[in-house]
Structures are given as structure tokens and as C-alpha cells.
């Protein structure tokens, strides 16, 4: 396990050193960004609406009973932008995009396409890993922003439509506006950047380490998703701690 984590760190560092080559690979980066966003945006918005609705549904009646119904909007807003949106969108990206990356690169590894790239003096990390890491680093924070917006709307719809809560639209968003500021939104976006890099590097690493035919590809995909989810939760705590000090 420690050997794998060490090799992942080395792969991440080598990818970071290749960042000046982004302009050369801009076409592949844009292609990867479009694929990642196209695969995940609709699901992210639907997921966010229901997450916001569930938070309002569970917390709203309790706050109404205690006479603090005016804070429901702020609670939904803070829960989404600081924690739930970055974590859930990263989990979604790991399951949908990370698994696809591991499967694609793993297939290239098994069928010796990566060896062919090396034969043509093409660095696989520059050609395969760099575009996916950069595209993921941009795509996941954008998904988080969309998730915030749709989650806030989902909470507002439930707050208005549920007779146990019955909070007007304007009161809901006034509460959200008074409790959520730009630092809270920025906190979630910065966390999502960290998660995106982790997912992309782990998925690419697992793909590059694939061996053993189709069975090995399936194993690499499973490991990529599992490692990504574990690292997301670990770094969620670490990033939250650091951002509490900085912001």
C-alpha cells in the first residue's frame, strides 16, 4: 500500500513538472474536459437538487419547532458549499470519470499501446496523464458550483412546498445570503480541486499498472474507485483543517 501511494506521489510530481506543456496538449485537454463535463453535469445537477431537498426536509421541521425557521436557507447553503457539494461531486467523478480513465488507460496498457507510444518517443505521462489531470482539475470545481446552485434551489422548493416548514422563497434566500459568504464557497471549490487531482492521478496510476488481460482491467477500475474514495475522505478532513486556518 505504501509503495503504491509513493508511486502515485511520484506520478503526480512528474505530471506537475509537465504543466508547461499544457498549451501543446490543449486540444486533448479540451476534449477530456468536454467528455468529463458531458458525462457528469446532468447527474450532478439532479443529485444536488435532491441533496438540498433532503437537508431542508430533515432540518426544516426541527428548526420550525425551535423558532429558528429563518435559518433553514443558511443551513442548506453552508452544508452544500462547504462539505456536501465538493465531496459528493468528487465521489460522482470518481465513480463515472475515474473508472473510465482507469479502464481506458488500462486497456492501452494491456494491449501494448503504451509500449508503442514509448517506441515512438512519446512520453505516456505527457500524452495520457497530463490532459486528464488538468481537465479533471477544471471540471470538478465547475460541477461543484453547479451543485451549489441546484442544491440551494432544491432546498428552497422543499422549504416552500412542505407544510411542516412553509418558508417563503424570499425568506429562504435572505437567510442563505446572510449566512453564506464568498469564503464558504471558495472553501468548497478549493477542496474540490484537491479531490480532482487525487482522483485523476490515482485513476491514471491504476491504469498504467494494469496487467493480466480483461480481468486485470476490471481489477484496476475497482482499485481506482476504492482508492479515490478513501483518499477523498482522508483529504477532506486535512483540507478542511487547513482551510479553517487560512480562511
Angle, vertex CA 3, rays to CA 233 and CA 222, nearest 5: 50
pLDDT of residue 2: 85
Please give the grid coordinates belonging to residue 153.
434551489
- In this predicted structure, what is the pLDDT of residue 97? 94
pLDDT for the residue 214? 84
Q: Where are the alpha helices (DSSP H) in the chain?
A: 2-17, 26-65, 72-79, 85-93, 99-110, 113-119, 124, 130-161, 169-179, 182-208, 213-246
pLDDT of residue 212: 83
pLDDT (mean) for 92-97: 94
Q: Sign of the C-alpha dihedral, residues 22, 25, 29, 32?
A: negative
Q: pLDDT at position 202, please? A: 96
Mean pLDDT calculated for residue range 222-226: 95
Residue 211: predicted pLDDT: 87
- For residue 38, pLDDT beyond 90: no
**Minimum mean pLDDT among 49-53, 137-141, 212-216: which range?**
212-216
Distances (CA, A) of 69 to 99, 120, 151, 173: 42, 65, 18, 12
Residue 81 pLDDT > 90: yes
Percent of the chain with pLDDT over 90: 80
* pLDDT of res. 200: 96
Q: What is the mean pLDDT of the chain?
A: 93
Q: Average of pLDDT values for 79-96?
A: 95
Question: Is pLDDT at 230 greater than 90 in this prediction?
Answer: yes
Cβ pair 164, 60 in contact under 8 A: yes
Span 160-203, pLDDT tens digits: 988 888 889 999 999 999 999 999 999 999 999 999 999 999 99
pLDDT band (50, 70, 90) for residue 74? very high
3-state helix, strand, coil in the chain (%, to 5): 90, 0, 10
pLDDT for residue 172: 92
pLDDT single digits (tens) 118-160: 899 999 999 999 999 999 999 999 999 999 999 999 999 999 9
Amino acid at each position: 500500500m505504501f509503495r503504491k501511494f509513493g508511486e502515485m506521489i511520484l506520478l503526480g510530481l512528474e505530471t506537475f513538472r509537465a504543466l508547461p506543456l499544457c498549451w501543446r496538449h490543449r486540444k486533448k485537454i479540451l476534449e477530456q474536459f468536454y467528455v468529463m463535463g458531458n458525462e457528469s453535469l446532468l447527474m450532478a445537477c439532479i443529485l444536488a437538487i435532491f441533496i438540498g431537498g433532503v437537508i431542508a426536509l430533515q432540518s426544516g421541521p426541527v428548526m420550525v419547532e425551535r423558532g429558528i425557521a429563518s435559518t433553514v436557507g443558511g443551513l442548506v447553503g453552508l452544508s452544500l458549499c462547504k462539505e456536501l457539494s465538493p465531496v459528493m461531486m468528487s465521489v460522482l467523478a470518481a465513480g463515472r470519470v475515474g473508472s473510465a480513465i482507469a479502464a481506458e488507460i488500462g486497456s492501452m496498457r494491456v494491449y501494448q499501446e503504451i509500449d508503442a507510444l514509448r517506441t515512438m518517443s512519446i512520453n505516456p505521462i505527457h500524452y495520457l496523464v497530463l490532459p486528464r489531470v488538468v481537465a479533471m482539475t477544471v471540471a470538478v470545481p465547475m460541477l461543484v458550483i453547479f451543485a451549489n446552485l441546484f442544491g440551494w434551489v432544491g432546498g428552497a422548493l422543499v422549504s416552500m412546498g412542505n407544510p411542516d416548514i412553509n418558508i417563503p422563497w424570499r425568506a429562504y434566500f435572505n437567510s442563505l445570503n446572510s449566512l453564506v459568504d464568498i469564503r464558504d464557497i471558495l472553501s468548497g471549490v478549493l477542496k474540490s480541486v484537491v479531490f480532482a487531482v487525487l482522483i485523476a492521478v490515482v485513476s491514471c496510476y491504476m491504469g498504467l499498472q494494469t496487467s493480466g488481460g480483461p480481468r486485470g482491467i476490471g481489477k484496476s477500475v475497482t482499485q481506482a474507485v476504492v482508492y479515490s474514495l478513501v483518499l477523498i475522505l482522508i483529504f477532506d478532513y486535512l483540507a478542511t483543517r487547513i482551510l479553517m486556518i487560512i480562511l
